[in-house]
Structure 1
Amino acid sequence: MSIDPLLSIMDKLEKMHKSLLKLAYHKTELIKVGDMAGLDQMLKDEQAHVAAISQLEQQRQKMVTDYLGAKGIALSGQATVADVMEAADTHEEKAKVDEVRKRLLLTIESLKKQNDLNQKMIFQSLQFVNMTLDLLRPQPDQINYSKTEARGSKMQQTHFDSQA
């Protein structure tokens, strides 16, 4: 069995992850300007990308299992690309798989970093909104509506006796 279909799927996975990375960079800009409608649309686009990546990942897993099955290798756990690299016939096939794997992992790592940055920016924005709301909202212990306490404090502060 040829390794080319697996390489093709992995290339597609890399392209989809790079596209998702571009969306993550764009999301950063949307967060900076506070474009909520743009962020809402961005979430829909990301969900579509994640669904496509999930389908490609299932195809990749099936191809890895089929490749290893054709080689007569039965695995007890889930088959991985590293298993394919070990089972590859030639050094050239191993090098191709390793190259695509490294590119995909690099793209995924960049995507993780950008998503972490976006998450931190959104968290800071929420903290700012909550702080602003706290400043605008009166605190219950700062408001005194009690008449007796108000009179008592006035009586203590004044030295003038109106009944004299």
Structure 2
Amino acid sequence: MAALDKLIAVLQQTEQSHREMLALSEIKRQVIVKNDVDQLIALMNKESKFMKQQEPLESERLSAVHELLQERGIKSMLNLNITEISKLIFDPADKQRLLEVQKKLAGTLQELKEINQLNQKLIEQSLMFIDLSMDIFASRPEQDATYQHPADKNGNPGRIGLFDTRA
């Protein structure tokens, strides 16, 4: 298999893998909205496994790029992006295949980035709501909700506990 074909195959595998991650992120968004912490933890564990699966693909990609460079007579171990690599390919059909895979992968990565940003905002809003709720329940009220004559300075100093135990 030629180095270019190997590179395109690795990029396609990477794109498919990121598509799976995108589906997982969609589910994660729904779980965040439902506030299902147990399922969220399970999804985060799946994401962690996904990240570990990306390491061999990245190694294969680097290997294919270096092999392609050597085929083209470049002895250096440059770390080039797809656009730079496409400039080294002179066959229009091969160049088109490479650029199509790049475009597809870039689109998937952009979608993944957007949904992850949305998920991050949802989590931040949930945390802000939880923080506000805790502040409301845990804070001491400034004054009692019952009427107190302004001249009465010896009034109740305020509730100490979370709940009013007076009956």
* TM-score relative to the length of structure 1: 0.82
- Alpha-carbon contact 2:3-2:65 (below 8 Å) kept: no
Alignment-derived partner of residue 112 in structure 1: 113
Alignment-derived partner of residue 29 in structure 1: 30
1:40 is the counterpart of 2:41: yes
Percent identity between matched residues is: 25
Runs of 5+ unmatched residues, structure 2:
144-151, 156-167
Structural mapping, 1:46-85, within 5 Å: 46-75=47-76, 77-85=78-86
Q: Give the counterpart letter for 1:105 in structure 2.
A: A
Bigger mean CA deviation after superposition, 119-128 or 46-55: 46-55
1:17 is the counterpart of 2:18: yes
Runs of 5+ unmatched residues, structure 1:
144-151, 156-164
Give the aligned length.
148
What is the alpha-carbon distance in structure 1 between the residues aligned to residue 86 and residue 100 of structure 2?
A: 11
What is the alpha-carbon distance in structure 1 between the residues aligned to residue 69 and residue 5 of structure 2?
A: 14
Alignment-derived partner of residue 129 in structure 2: 128
- Shift of residue 23, structure 1, vs aligned partner: 0.4
Q: Which has the larger Rg?
A: 1
1:99 is the counterpart of 2:100: yes
- Shift of residue 117, structure 1, vs aligned partner: 0.2
- Shift of residue 77, structure 1, vs aligned partner: 4.4
Richer in helix (by share): 1
What is the alpha-carbon distance in structure 2 between the residues aligned to residue 121 and residue 74 of structure 1?
A: 48
- Shift of residue 54, structure 1, vs aligned partner: 2.5
* CA offsets 1:32-68 (integer angstroms, 9 cap, x no match): 1111110000001011111112321221112111101
SS of residue matched to 1:3: helix
- Shift of residue 138, structure 1, vs aligned partner: 2.2
* TM-score relative to the length of structure 2: 0.81
What is the alpha-carbon distance in structure 2 between the residues aligned to residue 8 and residue 134 of structure 1?
A: 54
What is the alpha-carbon distance in structure 2 between the residues aligned to residue 88 and residue 73 of structure 1?
A: 13
What is the alpha-carbon distance in structure 1 between the residues aligned to residue 111 and residue 81 of structure 2?
A: 21
